[in-house]
Amino acid sequence: MTDPDHQPIDDRPSLDPVMDDHATDDRAADHSNTPLLQGETLSVLFGRQMVLREIDLSIPRGQTLAIIGESGCGKTVLLKTLVGLVKPHSGRVLFDNQDLATLDDHQLTAVRRRMGFVFQNAALFDSMTILQNVAFPLQQHRTLTDDEIEDQVMQGLAEVGLPPEVASKRPAELSGGMRKRVGLARALIMEPELLVYDEPTTGLDPIMSDVINELILGTRRRYPVTSIVVTHDMHTARKVADRVLMLFPRTRLAKHESQVLFDGPPSDLEHAEDRRVRQFVRGEAGERLNELVAAHETK
Ligand SMILES: Nc1ncnc2c1ncn2[C@@H]1O[C@H](COP(=O)(O)OP(=O)(O)OP(=O)(O)O)[C@@H](O)[C@H]1O
């Protein structure tokens, strides 16, 4: 989130143990021809600030979508709206054909169990060991013995390249890259149908960033997961995404311009018609510096 004054949303999984009997039925439902996720004319307001205006977005099953755009344009808000963590002011979100706004808490929990979240700061529980952190979703939702849970956690840690001795440590004892991989292991442990990553490589060195990229790709190769990756890292966007969506800050758009400046394969970014897209992906300030100076002078 860019604005520290606003209420933070707790990204960590809920501590309420909610058991759900219908999840298996949900997974079994065959909607394989419909997109997994659809956002229809989504607008989001915080107070009087409209962050998203009439966004339409449909994500087919198995696709990896990267959402890019400059800081504060609403990438995280769009991500959170799509998974039901932020309620749109208007429009609706359909997950597997179910309108999130019509679901009660129990049904929403069942839907969320089909999603895995990898948040920017890894959102681990500081007081728990790594084993307990990664085991957490399993303990909430599955009836497994402690030994079975431990086996699965150790396997999950190995899959993200973490050694077994990490299991007994606490998050504060690990590097940022390790914590991100723990976050990924925790998200993957339930084999979710939808994986959402918010800035998965922020703060990492280029090699560790690429380790995360490879893990995202490896997960997609392992099973047909649908993924949304919010990122500033153009290397990540180009490498992991089948499709890239570029948002633009609503306040800097002309009145009837769409907030989505680009929606297409990463290979088309360099040659996008819109100059703002080309400048963004090349990291060129263009007229932005002059705009910022002018905005400052008019205050
Ligand atoms: N819970 C909230 N309450 C009020 N305003 C919010 C909230 N969440 C986000 N905003 C505002 O919405 C705008 C977009 O925020 P968002 O975090 O989606 O941007 P972003 O594109 O992800 O930025 P960054 O790349 O810096 O993370 C910002 O102006 C932010 O202050």
- Which one has a higher pLDDT value, 167 or 299? 167
For the residues of the chain, what is the DSSP string, one character each? ---TTSPPP--SPPSS----SSHHHHHH---TTS-SEEEEEEEEEETTEEEEEEEEEEE-TT-EEEEE-STTSSHHHHHHHHTTSS--SEEEEEETTEEGGG--HHHHHHHHTTEEEE-TTTT--TTS-HHHHHHHHHHHH----HHHHHHHHHHHHHHTT--GGGGGS-GGGS-HHHHHHHHHHHHHTT--SEEEEESTTTT--HHHHHHHHHHHHHHHHHS--EEEEE-S-HHHHHHH-SEEEEE--GGGS-TT--SEEEEE-GGGGGG-SSHHHHHHHHT--TTHHHHHHHHHHT-
Given 171, 191, 211, the domain boundary residue is 191
Residue 2 Cα to ligand 1 midpoint, Å, equals 5
Based on the fold, state whether residues 37 and 65 are members of the same structural domain.
yes
- Which one has a higher pLDDT value, 262 or 124? 262
Residue 20 placed within a domain: no
Residue 230 Cα to ligand 1 midpoint, Å, equals 12
pTM for the structure as a whole: 0.84
Measured CA angle at 87 (ends 256, 37), to 5 deg: 80
The answer to whether residue 118 scores a pLDDT higher than 60 is yes
> Looking at residue 34, what is its pLDDT?
87
Based on the fold, state whether residues 63 and 128 are members of the same structural domain.
no
Based on the fold, state whether residues 131 and 147 are members of the same structural domain.
yes
> Looking at residue 9, what is its pLDDT?
39
82 lines ligand 1 (CB under 6 A): no
Residue 199 placed within a domain: yes
Give the residue, out of 2, 87, 232, with the most ligand 1 atoms within 8 A of its beta carbon, to mutate for a pocket test.
Answer: 2
Based on the fold, state whether residues 93 and 212 are members of the same structural domain.
yes
Residue 117 Cα to ligand 1 midpoint, Å, equals 18
> Looking at residue 256, what is its pLDDT?
87
Residue 182 placed within a domain: yes
Q: What is the mean pLDDT of residues 167-172?
A: 94
| Residue 164 confidence class, pLDDT cut points 50, 70, 90 | very high
Residue 6 placed within a domain: no
> Looking at residue 62, what is its pLDDT?
95
Residue 7 placed within a domain: no
Domains in the chain: how many in total?
2
Based on the fold, state whether residues 89 and 51 are members of the same structural domain.
yes
74 lines ligand 1 (CB under 6 A): yes
Given 191, 222, 238, the domain boundary residue is 191
Indicate the range of 19-28, 49-58, 187-196, 201-210 predicted with least confidence. 19-28
> Looking at residue 16, what is its pLDDT?
38
| Residue 33 confidence class, pLDDT cut points 50, 70, 90 | confident
The answer to whether residue 252 scores a pLDDT higher than 70 is yes
Based on the fold, state whether residues 110 and 196 are members of the same structural domain.
yes
Residue 147 placed within a domain: yes
Given 191, 212, 233, the domain boundary residue is 191
Based on the fold, state whether residues 184 and 163 are members of the same structural domain.
yes
Indicate the range of 121-125, 165-169, 188-192, 281-285 predicted with least confidence. 121-125
The answer to whether residue 140 scores a pLDDT higher than 80 is no
The answer to whether residue 159 scores a pLDDT higher than 80 is yes
- The per-residue pLDDT of the chain, averaged, comes to 85
Which of 230, 194, 214, 211 is CA-nearest to residue 119? 230
Residue 18 placed within a domain: no
| Residue 2 confidence class, pLDDT cut points 50, 70, 90 | very low
Q: What is the ipTM metric for this complex?
A: 0.97
Based on the fold, state whether residues 152 and 289 are members of the same structural domain.
no
Residue 45 Cα to ligand 1 midpoint, Å, equals 11
> Looking at residue 12, what is its pLDDT?
43
Based on the fold, state whether residues 292 and 199 are members of the same structural domain.
yes
Could you list the residue range(s) of the whole structural domain that residue 283 is in?
31-114+192-297
Residue 11 placed within a domain: no
The answer to whether residue 76 scores a pLDDT higher than 90 is yes
Give the residue, out of 51, 196, 230, 245, with the most ligand 1 atoms within 8 A of its beta carbon, to mutate for a pocket test.
Answer: 51
Based on the fold, state whether residues 239 and 175 are members of the same structural domain.
no
> Looking at residue 283, what is its pLDDT?
85
Based on the fold, state whether residues 128 and 108 are members of the same structural domain.
no
| CATH, residue 246 | 3.40.50.300
141 lines ligand 1 (CB under 6 A): no
Based on the fold, state whether residues 275 and 148 are members of the same structural domain.
no
